[in-house]
Structure 1
Amino acid sequence: MPVDRRKTAVFSAAVLLRLLLFFVFPSLPDLLTGRVEVSTPVNSFKRLQEGLFLYTRNVSPYDGGVFHQAPLLLPLYALLPSVRDYRLPQIVFYALIDILNADALITIADSGQSVVGRLHSTSRKNIRWDGVAIAAWYLFNPFTIATCLGRPTSVLTSSAILYAVSNAVSGNSVNAMLALGLASYLSLYPALLFLPLVLLCYDRHATGSKVAPSTALFGLQNFGVFLASVAGLLAISYLIIGDFWEFVSATYGFQLLVPDLTPNIGLWWYFFIEIFDSFREFFLGVFWLHLAGYVGGLTVRLRRQPLFVLTSLLGIFAIFKPYPSISDISLYFALLPLYRHLVPLMRYTFFAVSALLYATVLGPVFHHLWIYAGSGNANFFYAITLVWSLGLSILVADSMFAALRDEWEEENPDMRGKDVRQI
């Protein structure tokens, strides 16, 4: 099998860059680990170390209310050398995960599903980047590098999602459902990706077979695989922890009820600090329904482009989930370049990019003014997170407009390039 020199060069340079940053700035990983943009209560590497400390001493890792992550992470990280004595293996481990994610991105990009699918084929299919270019965009994205050095456990969720998508575009629906089950087990919210993912698997199967399988039967079979995957992981977790309800309430219950209002780059924490406790349950339901409500609408309206639905949902989750971090953004930005052909149709790219750059620079500044300098308050930081969310919202909405316009131009080729106004 011939060696792809471009791919090897990109992967090697990405690993070397991470190692260089680690050796030149040895305090950088610890600095990033403590940043609210990188770590949240449900993915923090420091909290994982607390749980691991208790786990290795035969104490429940959920005692004390600090650790809120999946139990299977404990035996996995217990295999790695202690971070207090050897920090390099941790960085190498996360760098290898980035390489695996980039390899999955190459598979997704080279499948061509973003430009040519079973039900949709863009007229701009020649405007695209190859898989290695998209992998390079992901590996050298500053958000990806910061996530690697900050070592949040959410990168494992991102990896599972990317492998679910890469298996789906390859026509391997069983592995796709198993990977989605792992992602849902780790972080809960990826379960909302089931509908577009199973449609992507169905389209690939229907394209490769003479007779299209029954949609309902195909969906039920894959749903069964997905449930079996989650159930198996929960059963193993029970064997590790011993108290099923303890870890369920400490992990999934924690994510659903959002009791920890530590500041992050999301929209939930400030709102729930301000509201009266008597309204908390109501608004929890409203916020979760709002997040889940996008799935059905996007899946139905953009049925012909299930991969784009997956990409858009990841962007929406990065905005509206209760504990977002830059690892969620890096995952969305990893898939967005698949749709380079939509850029000419987007209208507000400059405003979206400007808002994101503005918030990226001023976010840490405002947080420092509030927490450390004492010359600001919570409104400083929350205001800049609103700008961040606004920039992402514009980007997601504008890409959706471009996708719909692309579909419309496919149906009406004589209208390509012409302005359309609603009367």
Structure 2
Amino acid sequence: MSLTAVLASGFALRFAVPTLLPHISHSLAATPQISTPIDSFRSIREAVYFLQNGMDAYDGGLVHHPPLLVAIFRVLSELFGPWSEVAFNFLFAAVDVGVAIKLTNLNRWYNQHQSKKTKSQFTAFSDALVASLYLFNPLMVLTNWAHSTQPISYFLIVESIAQVLVDKNAYRGAISLAVASYLSYSPLYLLFPLLALTYMASGRGSWGREVVVQCSAIFVASLSMLMLLSFALTASQDFVFQCYWPVMSFSKIAPNMGLWWYLFTEMFDFFTPLYKGIFNLYSFVFIVPLTIRLYEPASSPKTGDSFLAMVLCCLWVSFTKPYPVVGDLGFILSMLPIFKNTVIPRTKFLPLTMLMLIVCLLLAPIFYYCWIVLGNGNSNFFYSMNLVWAGVHVLLFLDLIWGRLVYDYVQINQVKDTESIRLTQM
């Protein structure tokens, strides 16, 4: 199947199903594994209703989306009128197709880059296969049908990477990441690995350092401009406390696939500020050392992988987010085929990780139903699957790092018989 056919099929799947069966989007939007209060499309509908009736969208504590995003959906709603739901279906389907196209571009760039580094000829997966693994990933399809705003963030993140590596325009990459950070806060943690990618792609040296400084300034200026426009649009700072403060303070406790909600439900109030600070610190404390460890040094061109560092940082953010959805991990899994020739052949626990993932995805909705609907279980049932979900992240994280370290060892020592090599961690 050609890439065009895959993209068309993926678009049709995302557009036709919620258009013909609109209740699917409403049902999935109420599912904690797929949508949270922070990225829920129901929240956008509430905001649009408030604005159309002359009320403050951020007055009731129900809306957690930034003003500019709400304004865009309000314009679409008024422009298309009774056909607005169809327009929303089209928009979200187009966003996911855009992500798939960017992933195919990154797949080609990465394998060409690694071939040049190692002076070997790598054969990448076809564009159609890479796009298929994203567009027909059940986690991504369900997230899209729920109209969670996370796919918009995924597009902006992958766009920022593609701008730096493929299009060689680091400035647009910084702007894309700034918009992603404005929409959902968590992409802010990806600034450092993106700057490392920028420095590597700019040829290092004094010019590379200058580009990094300029990109940092553009990122700050873009984010500041978006915040100022939001202030001008709402004439209030309430949106800051409704959009970003709940993510940092976890003030809106709701069951989801993350680790935060259960701990802060059971914790004494006296300890809550301390552990909220620790959890927020934990969200980014490993980003910098991970980026530095996997950076591609000019002195040893065959080692390091700054692109893998970016992917691992995305995985870490997914693991530590207070309001994660299944699409966060699905987005990372869709990027793994890019590492077909480098990391994936050296991993050890991918089958075990995939089995854990399947068990978690099957049992999580069942345990949640037993707890909330039937009442014959409790929160421990559902949270046990959250712990398994976290275990999937940890295993995948460690496995990918180990795979890259083994690959670097093979390159440095010029090991020929890679099939029989046995390495261990010391």
TM-score range, shorter chain: over 0.9
Partner of 1:66: 62
- Confirm whether residue 17 of structure 1 aligns to residue 13 of structure 2: yes
Partner of 1:43: 39
SS of the residue aligned with 1:287? helix
CA deviation profile, 1:212-253 (whole Å, cap 9, x unmatched): 434443321110010011011111111111113x11111111
Counting only pairs closer than 5 Å after superposition, residues 324-335 of structure 1 correspond to structure 2 as 324-335=324-335
Tell me: CA distance 1:364–1:231, structure 2 relative to 1, closer, same or farther (3 Å).
Answer: same
Structure 2 letter corresponding to 1:110:
R
Partner of 1:239: 232
Matched residues in 1 for 2:425 and 2:137: separation?
Answer: 38
SS of the residue aligned with 1:80? helix
SS of the residue aligned with 1:277? coil
Matched residues in 2 for 1:249 and 1:19: separation?
Answer: 34
CA deviation profile, 1:268-294 (whole Å, cap 9, x unmatched): 000111111111111011111111111
Counting only pairs closer than 5 Å after superposition, residues 314-353 of structure 1 correspond to structure 2 as 314-341=314-341, 342-353=343-354
Tell me: CA distance 1:114–1:165, structure 2 relative to 1, closer, same or farther (3 Å).
Answer: farther
Aligned 8 A contact 1:137 1:334 in 2: yes
CA deviation profile, 1:335-391 (whole Å, cap 9, x unmatched): 222112222211111110000000001111000000001111000000011111112
SS of the residue aligned with 2:322? coil
- Confirm whether residue 173 of structure 1 aligns to residue 170 of structure 2: yes
Aligned 8 A contact 2:111 2:123 in 1: no
Partner of 2:301: none
Matched residues in 1 for 2:21 and 2:220: separation?
Answer: 44
Matched residues in 1 for 2:230 and 2:207: separation?
Answer: 35
Aligned 8 A contact 1:352 1:391 in 2: yes
- Confirm whether residue 30 of structure 1 aligns to residue 17 of structure 2: no
Matched residues in 2 for 1:291 and 1:23: separation?
Answer: 37
Partner of 1:189: 186
**Shift, 1:117, TM fit:** 8.1
Structure 2 letter corresponding to 1:107:
N
Aligned 8 A contact 2:28 2:34 in 1: yes
Tell me: CA distance 1:410–1:24, structure 2 relative to 1, closer, same or farther (3 Å).
Answer: same
RMSD of aligned Cα (Å): 2.1
Partner of 2:248: 256
- Confirm whether residue 286 of structure 1 aligns to residue 282 of structure 2: no
Structure 2 letter corresponding to 1:153:
T
Partner of 2:108: 110
Structure 1 letter corresponding to 2:133:
W
- Aligned mate of 2:154, from 144, 155, 158: 158
**Shift, 1:113, TM fit:** 5.7
SS of the residue aligned with 1:260? coil
Aligned 8 A contact 1:114 1:308 in 2: no
Matched residues in 2 for 1:50 and 1:316: separation?
Answer: 31
**Shift, 1:21, TM fit:** 2.6
Partner of 1:419: 422
Aligned 8 A contact 1:158 1:331 in 2: yes
Matched residues in 2 for 1:114 and 1:229: separation?
Answer: 32
Tell me: CA distance 1:169–1:308, structure 2 relative to 1, closer, same or farther (3 Å).
Answer: same
Structure 2 letter corresponding to 1:237:
S
- Confirm whether residue 75 of structure 1 aligns to residue 71 of structure 2: yes
Tell me: CA distance 1:122–1:152, structure 2 relative to 1, closer, same or farther (3 Å).
Answer: farther
Aligned 8 A contact 1:370 1:381 in 2: yes
**Shift, 1:72, TM fit:** 0.8
Size of the aligned set, in residue pairs, is 412
**Shift, 1:177, TM fit:** 0.3
Q: Which stretch shows the higher mean deviation, 100-109 or 136-145?
A: 100-109
What's the TM-score, normalizing by structure 2? 0.92
SS of the residue aligned with 2:254? coil
Partner of 1:374: 375
**Shift, 1:397, TM fit:** 1.3
Q: Which stretch shows the higher mean deviation, 213-222 or 259-268?
A: 213-222
- Aligned mate of 1:6, from 2, 5, 9: 2
Partner of 1:273: 265
Instruction: Using the aligned pairs only, state the percent identity.
Output: 26
Matched residues in 2 for 1:422 and 1:101: separation?
Answer: 36
Matched residues in 2 for 1:41 and 1:90: separation?
Answer: 19
Structure 2 letter corresponding to 1:358:
V
Matched residues in 1 for 2:119 and 2:31: separation?
Answer: 41
Q: Which stretch shows the higher mean deviation, 308-317 or 377-386?
A: 308-317
SS of the residue aligned with 1:364? helix
Aligned 8 A contact 1:188 1:252 in 2: yes
CA deviation profile, 1:284-324 (whole Å, cap 9, x unmatched): 11111111111111111101211101111111111111000
**Shift, 1:27, TM fit:** 2.2
Structure 1 letter corresponding to 2:192:
L
